[in-house]
């Protein structure tokens, strides 16, 4: 299975999509565009319409050696599609618990784009705590101002290196 990137931008050809393509250039990586996916907001009854794709996306995430969550920074936080996706992980704690247990030990990286030259500390902290709570290894955050250069080229190299190395690792 290839690494997977979850693109949480509200625009089809957004700045975040541009930097995601740069990050994964020449590497095998599947992309799930949340903007064209059917994912309902979290609800306490766990009642979702037929065709809701959250669980099928999570099954792909579980098989992937690395997951990249790519989001623009909106008001010091995730985009709405990304936030809705992350909120649905609550289902994996109370409803789809077997899938939730399979998150432990997975590796996630955050990719952000925004108006600032450095990643937003509030966003990175929230994502780090999200990963920590679920037992997911947080690789780190790669960030670019708009479609410019990445703020931390070492982090980009680390993520790309793990993606390349994952081709030699077999997952069940």
Residue 143 exposed, middle or buried by CB count within 10 Å (0-12, 13-18, 19+):
buried
Closest CA to 70 of 126, 124, 5: 5
Cα 41 to the center of its chain, rounded Å: 17
Q: Which residues contact 116 (CB under 8 A, 6 or more apart)?
A: 73, 145
The reply to whether 22 falls in a domain is no
Number of structural domains in the chain = 1
Q: What is the mean pLDDT of residues 70-77?
A: 95
**Can you give the pLDDT at residue 1?**
87
Beta-carbon neighbour count of residue 112 at 10 Å? Answer: 27
Note the pLDDT tens digit of each residue in 142-162: 999 999 999 999 999 999 999
Please state the length of the chain. Answer: 172
- Residue found by looking up tokens 């709405």 in the block: 80
The reply to whether 121 falls in a domain is no
pLDDT exceeds cutoff 60 at 109: yes
pLDDT exceeds cutoff 70 at 170: no
Q: What is the mean pLDDT of residues 87-105?
A: 96
Structure tokens at 69: 């969550």
pLDDT exceeds cutoff 90 at 51: yes
Give the range of the structural domain holding residue 57, as residue numbers without chain letter.
Answer: 27-115+129-166
3-class secondary structure per residue, 52-73: CCHHHHHHHHHHCCCEEEEEEC
pLDDT exceeds cutoff 70 at 167: no
CATH of the domain at 99: 3.40.50.360
Q: Report pTM.
A: 0.94
CA distance 60 to 140: 21
The reply to whether 5 falls in a domain is no
The reply to whether 84 falls in a domain is yes
**Can you give the pLDDT at residue 141?**
98
Beta-carbon neighbour count of residue 88 at 10 Å? Answer: 22
The reply to whether 42 falls in a domain is yes
**Can you give the pLDDT at residue 24?**
97
Share of the chain above pLDDT 70, in %: 97
CA distance 160 to 90: 29
**Can you give the pLDDT at residue 172?**
42
The reply to whether 150 falls in a domain is yes
CA distance 147 to 112: 10
The reply to whether 8 falls in a domain is no
């Amino acid at each position: 299975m290839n690494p997977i990137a979850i693109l949480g931008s509200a625009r089809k050809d957004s700045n975040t999509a541009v930097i995601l393509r740069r990050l994964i250039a020449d590497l095998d990586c599947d992309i799930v565009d949340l903007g064209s996916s059917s994912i309902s907001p979290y609800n306490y009854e766990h009642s979702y319409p037929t065709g809701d794709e959250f669980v099928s996306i999570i099954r792909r995430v579980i098989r992937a050696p690395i997951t990249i969550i790519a989001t623009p920074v909106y008001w010091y936080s995730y985009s709405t599609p990304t936030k809705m996706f992350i909120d649905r992980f609550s289902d994996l704690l109370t409803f789809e618990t077997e899938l939730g247990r399979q998150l432990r030990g997975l590796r996630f990286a955050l990719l952000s784009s925004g108006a600032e030259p450095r990643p937003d500390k509030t966003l990175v902290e929230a994502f780090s705590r999200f990963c920590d709570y679920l037992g997911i290894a947080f690789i780190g955050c790669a960030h670019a101002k708009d479609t410019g250069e990445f703020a931390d080229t070492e982090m980009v190299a680390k993520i790309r290196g793990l993606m390349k190395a994952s081709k030699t690792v077999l997952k069940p």
